[in-house]
Amino acid sequence: MHLPNASHENPASDMEKMVATQATRATHETGSYRDSRVPDGWTPKGWANRLIQLAERCEVTNPDQAAEYRQRALTICADNEIV
């Protein structure tokens, strides 16, 4: 039986996992939603948009996490004057 290697057969899935991990770390490292750190390689607007996408994806299975992502996105937008 052959099991697919996720890193070679589904690179998009690996990217999703990496971004979700970054989002979780960025949200929880400080224990505060008021911290508006944005991971290296992301613009504040791009990261806020990505957090909203992640919130939409996990709304049904993990509504608390979705709420955290949305709050973090709102904080980043407010702190960086993004309309």
Phi, psi of 61 (to 5 degrees): -85, -25
Identify the residue with better confidence: 71 or 37: 71
What digits encode the pLDDT tens for the residues 4-40? Answer: 544 455 666 776 777 677 666 655 554 444 456 899 8
The answer to whether the predicted template modeling score (pTM) of the entire model surpasses 0.85 is no
Could you tell me if 26 and 64 are in contact, meaning their C-beta atoms sit under 8 angstroms apart? no
Q: Domain coordinates of the chain in residue numbers?
A: 40-83
CA dihedral 53, 55, 58, 60 (to 10 degrees): -120
